[in-house]
Structure 1
Amino acid sequence: MDKSISHDPLVLVARRAAAAGAEVLSRRDESQFNLNDKSAAGDWVTDFDRASEEAIRATIVTSRPNDELTGEEFPSAKPSHPSGVRWSIDPLDGTTNFVRNIAYYCSSVGACQLEEDGTETWVAAAIVAPALQVEYFAGKSLGAWKHDLRTGKLIQLTGPVESATKILGTGFGYDAERRQFQARVLEGMLEDYVNVRRIGSAALDLCLVAEGALDAYAEYGTQEYDWAAGALIAEEAGCQVGRPASNPGWQYAGLVDTAKLSVPGS
Structure 2
Amino acid sequence: MTLAVDLGALAADIAVEAGDLAARRRAEGVSLAATKSTLADIVTDADREVEQLIRDRLAAERPDDGFLGEESGAGEGSSGITWVVDPIDGTVNYAYGIPAYSVSIAVVEGTPEPDAWEGVAAAVYGPALGELFTAVRGEGAVFRGERLAVTSETPAGALLATGFGYDPATHDGDLATVRRVMTMARDLRRIGSAALDLSYVAAGRMDGFFERGLKPWDFAAGRILVEEAGGLVSRIDTDAPRPLLFAGGADVHARLGALLVEG
Query: Do the structures match in fold with TM over 0.5?
Result: yes
Residue 101 (structure 1) aligned to one of 76, 97, 101: 97
Letter in 2 for 1:69: F
Q: Distance in 1 between matches of 2:212 and 2:261?
A: 10
Specify the code of the residue in structure 2 equivalent to 1:56: I
What do residues 70-90 of structure 1 show as CA deviations (whole Å, max 9, x unaligned)? 1000131224xx000011100
Instruction: Give the whole-Å Cα distance in 2 for the aligned partners of 1:75 and 1:105.
Output: 20
Q: 2:247 aligns with which of 253, 261, 265?
A: 253
CA shift at 1:4, angstroms?
A: 6.7
Where does the alignment leave 5 or more consecutive residues of structure 1 unmatched? 148-153
Give the direction of change, closer, same or farther, for the CA distance of 1:4–1:146 in structure 2 (3 Å limit). farther
Alpha-carbon distance in 2 for matches of 1:172, 1:122:
26
- Does the CA-based 8 Å contact 1:4-1:142 persist in structure 2? no
Amino acid at match of 1:102: I
Q: What residue number does 1:38 align with?
A: 36
After TM superposition, list the pairs within 5 Å mapping 1:1-266 onto structure 2: 8-27=5-24, 28-29=26-27, 31-79=29-77, 82-114=78-110, 119-147=116-144, 154-165=145-156, 166-243=158-235, 245-246=238-239, 248-254=242-248, 255-256=252-253, 257=255, 258-262=257-261
Separation of aligned partners in 2, 1:66 and 1:35: 30
In the TM superposition, what is the alpha-carbon distance from 1:262 to its structure 2 partner?
Answer: 4.1
Q: TM-score, normalised by structure 2?
A: 0.89
Where do 5+ consecutive residues of structure 2 fail to align?
none
| Contact map agreement 1:206 1:234 (CA 8 A) in 2 | yes
Identity percentage over the alignment? 33
More helix by share: 2
Aligned positions, number: 251
* TM-score normalised per structure 1: 0.88
